Structure 1
Amino acid sequence: MSLQNTIQKYLENWKNISHLDFCLLLEDNSIYVSTCQKRLPSRSKLEDFRNSDALCISNTSLCLYKVMNKGDCAYLLLVWGSGESMPTIGELAVCQIQSLLEAYAEKNDKNTFMQNLLLGNYSEVDAFNRAKKLHISPSSQRAVFVVETRQARDEHALATIRNIFSARTKDFITSVDDNSIIVVRELTSTESYDDLENIAYMLVDMLGTEAMTQAWVSYSNVADDLKQLSNAYKEARTAMEIGKIFYAERNVFGYRRLGIGRLIYQLPVSVCELFIQEIFGEESLDSIDGETLAIIRTFFENNLNLSETSRQLYVHRNTLVYRFEKIQKKFGLDLRTFEDALTFKLAMLVSSYLTTSRS
């Protein structure tokens, strides 16, 4: 909930309790929130009050209060009504608003700090000092999760994630671009990488059911302290990139569980192109029709088991044999043997990488 909506809610509650009306004005005397449509004092009267030393002025039906923030007059609070309790209620409302301003300012300061920390914009000493000032533990273990959805700036997804972690006050939910949401989770001593994997799957499931959107989640290795968080963020981002290239059928990618995709990702493009030319010659993976590729992928998923592949795809075993013999004739690879199947699988992964790197 935004600061404006929060203050509006509090003032409406104050109105229901006290039967007084409230209005909060910005520095230019425009209405920020209000519980009524009452006429405002003249601009000159408001300015005279702002420029005076008084914190409050009143008459029989209206009280004006200065709402201070960091020593400056941030807002003016107007309270309409009558009765002996009116000044006290106004002062309590001012205290409540000032507390909200301080809480939101601290929250924004922490969010800005975490964003800059993830991007590596602080030295180790500066990060430690700022964390101490913001009451953030510098030595707690944390992990970074990166969440992407189909829609950029997905506010519904962001609200869902905030709701999931609402009870965890030491976790941070932020972003550094329009394409992803970042969760920095503080870990307990008993949490393991299996727990991180479960959290990632939970996020995917919750976003699917609550926000009605497909999501991809990657996560880093464990960072032992604040200075390692920048590297952890890079790990989570790298896991997302590698995962989407090489494991398109998945939605969760852990940095320590990227398999052979990590190795291929680190190869020079020229080496990958040489490998593809060696396997396919003048042809390419695109020269194989989509149905045959689907058969090959299912065959690999079933550990080169022809019978199981035939059963799953409702295709006669001889039809599969015929398809594989065509591949063997075209590329010299018999996918029914482990070595040739491995070579072809690698070629498929490298082709996906080259397609992404060229786009």
Structure 2
Amino acid sequence: MYNRFMYNTRLIQSSLEDLKNITKADFYLCDSKKEVLVSTFEKLDLDEKEISLFVEGDADRQNIRQYNFVKIRKNDKETYTLITYLANGDSYMIGRIAASEVTHLMSIQTPKITKEDFYKDLIRGNVLFNEIRTRSQALHINTEALRRVMAISLHGEDTEELFPICLEIIKNIYPDKKEDYVLNVDDNVILLIKEFSDGSEDEANECARQIVSTINTELMTGAKVTYGCLVTELKDLSESYKQASMAMEVVKIFYDDRDIASYTSLGIGRLIHQLPRQLCEMFLKEVFGENDKDLLTNEQVNIIEKFFDNNLNVSETARSLDIKRTTLIYKIEKINEILKLDINKFEDAMTLKIAMMVAKYTSYIYKNN
């Protein structure tokens, strides 16, 4: 419908809302397919058949009760219907004024929106709901495919120099821009808006593994891929984007050993990430008291992490650390004395595990602020 330019429905919406505030009238604008473009109605109390009869009919103007219908013709192919409602007053005259304003605003043509611009606006939540279908149709984008937003980040040395090369690699893996689209939203993260056939976690993980493997091979550096929940409509892509972005941050803070992670697999790290800093600091003070949370040595922290990794099993932990069992027991006792906890017990071990993760999070906040 829009070969060279797209009308700024946001501007039209704003103008009609201003007119509503002045005249107390409501307005409804739709295209020849009866797709609503702009509306100030909370609820349009009109039968769909009444709208269809006017849209498909030959009349240019018509009054039905307090509703005034008028067609706005841009050319042989583009016809729009503006409906004006005024409970007490002349809806015909106000409808003429509104139609004139809409016609003028439609003549203010905005540069053609590219897919890249559309997707960037979409994931940032900058596209009105009414505009999504119109723009996607103009850009030939399927509105109801199964999609996820995937975030891709490099880790290792020389990531800044390798980033542009990585972007080209991802674009070469997914060259079909009708189904998948690669975006560069900043200098640290590449976004892939990916269509899926069945939408399963296995399918998403396989896609992520392919990306990580290709980057490892081509650039000889590490990569992380995170992804949000599956969405079935374009309007929900912004939520999948937020989830993928949050997942990337959570992985970097708590799970640096993971190359691939979904938003739903982040466990307690995701919960801690959403806690306010003040609450985190209060919790750390409750666990460690007035002691410095960094009072443990690197060796002691390593022992605790291995102990947790081995499910509080002393023998397995001693084997993985390559030390004697009795030596490990002694070292754990020293840790218990320092922390005033007994990490051999599940409840105390869980408290310390959470406290160590919260400490990581607060350190991350301070570092980035």
Q: TM-score range, shorter-chain basis?
A: 0.5 to 0.7
* 1:163 aligned onto 2:172: yes
Number of the residue aligned with 1:110: 115
> What are the superposed Cα offsets for residues 326-353 of structure 1, whole Å, 9 maximum, x if unpaired?
1111111111211111111011111011
Shift of 1:183: 0.2
Shift of 1:156: 1.8
Q: Where does 1:255-334 land on structure 2 (aligned, <5 Å)?
A: 255-334=263-342
User: AA paired with 1:254?
Assistant: S
Q: Where does 1:69-80 land on structure 2 (aligned, <5 Å)?
A: none
Which of 135, 140, 148 is the aligned partner of 2:145? Answer: 140
Shift of 1:253: 2.1
The percentage of counterpart residues that share the same residue type is 40
User: AA paired with 2:268?
Assistant: I
Contact residue 147 and residue 217 of structure 1 kept, 8 A = yes
Number of the residue aligned with 2:134: 129
Task: Specify whether residues 216 and 131 from structure 1 end up closer, same or farther in structure 2 by C-alpha distance, changes over 3 A only.
Answer: same
User: AA paired with 1:292?
Assistant: Q
Which of 347, 359, 369 is the aligned partner of 1:339? Answer: 347
C-alpha distance in 2 between matches for 1:112 and 1:168: 13
Number of the residue aligned with 1:252: 260
Task: Specify whether residues 191 and 224 from structure 1 end up closer, same or farther in structure 2 by C-alpha distance, changes over 3 A only.
Answer: closer
Which of 242, 245, 265 is the aligned partner of 1:237? Answer: 245
Contact residue 223 and residue 259 of structure 2 kept, 8 A = yes
> What are the superposed Cα offsets for residues 78-126 of structure 1, whole Å, 9 maximum, x if unpaired?
xxxxxxxxxxxxxxxxxxxxxxxxxxx99x8112211111111110111
Shift of 1:169: 4.4
Which of 169, 180, 191 is the aligned partner of 1:182? Answer: 191
Q: Which moved more, 1:158-167 or 1:304-313?
A: 158-167
C-alpha distance in 2 between matches for 1:113 and 1:348: 42
User: AA paired with 2:212?
Assistant: V
Q: Where does 1:22-33 land on structure 2 (aligned, <5 Å)?
A: none
Aligned partner of residue 282 in structure 1, secondary structure: coil
C-alpha distance in 1 between matches for 2:129 and 2:326: 64
User: AA paired with 2:360?
Assistant: S
C-alpha distance in 1 between matches for 2:325 and 2:145: 56
Task: Specify whether residues 295 and 230 from structure 1 end up closer, same or farther in structure 2 by C-alpha distance, changes over 3 A only.
Answer: same
C-alpha distance in 2 between matches for 1:182 and 1:161: 9
Shift of 1:286: 1.6
Shift of 1:231: 1.3
Number of the residue aligned with 1:68: none
Contact residue 152 and residue 180 of structure 1 kept, 8 A = no
Aligned partner of residue 253 in structure 1, secondary structure: strand
Which of 213, 223, 226 is the aligned partner of 2:231? Answer: 223
Q: Which moved more, 1:313-322 or 1:199-208?
A: 199-208
Number of the residue aligned with 1:60: none
> What are the superposed Cα offsets for residues 234-262 of structure 1, whole Å, 9 maximum, x if unpaired?
11111111221121221222111110112
C-alpha distance in 1 between matches for 2:176 and 2:310: 42
Number of the residue aligned with 2:7: none
Contact residue 150 and residue 226 of structure 2 kept, 8 A = yes
User: AA paired with 1:177?
Assistant: D
**Could you tell me the TM-score, scaled by structure 1's length?**
0.67
Aligned partner of residue 285 in structure 1, secondary structure: coil
Contact residue 208 and residue 260 of structure 2 kept, 8 A = yes
Number of the residue aligned with 2:55: none
Contact residue 318 and residue 328 of structure 2 kept, 8 A = yes
User: AA paired with 2:310?
Assistant: N
Which of 165, 176, 181 is the aligned partner of 1:172? Answer: 181
User: AA paired with 1:123?
Assistant: L
Contact residue 223 and residue 229 of structure 1 kept, 8 A = yes
> What are the superposed Cα offsets for residues 264-290 of structure 1, whole Å, 9 maximum, x if unpaired?
122221111111111111223321111
Structure 2 runs not aligned, ≥5 long: 1-110
C-alpha distance in 1 between matches for 2:193 and 2:255: 24
Q: Where does 1:32-47 land on structure 2 (aligned, <5 Å)?
A: none
Q: Which moved more, 1:297-306 or 1:247-256?
A: 247-256
C-alpha distance in 2 between matches for 1:340 and 1:239: 28
* 1:120 aligned onto 2:129: no
Aligned partner of residue 210 in structure 1, secondary structure: helix
Contact residue 160 and residue 211 of structure 1 kept, 8 A = no
C-alpha distance in 1 between matches for 2:316 and 2:136: 56
Shift of 1:158: 1.3
Shift of 1:184: 0.3
**Could you tell me the TM-score, scaled by structure 2's length?**
0.65
User: AA paired with 1:186?
Assistant: E
Number of the residue aligned with 1:204: 212
Shift of 1:163: 2.3
> What are the superposed Cα offsets for residues 129-158 of structure 1, whole Å, 9 maximum, x if unpaired?
111001001111210001111323712211
C-alpha distance in 2 between matches for 1:166 and 1:291: 48
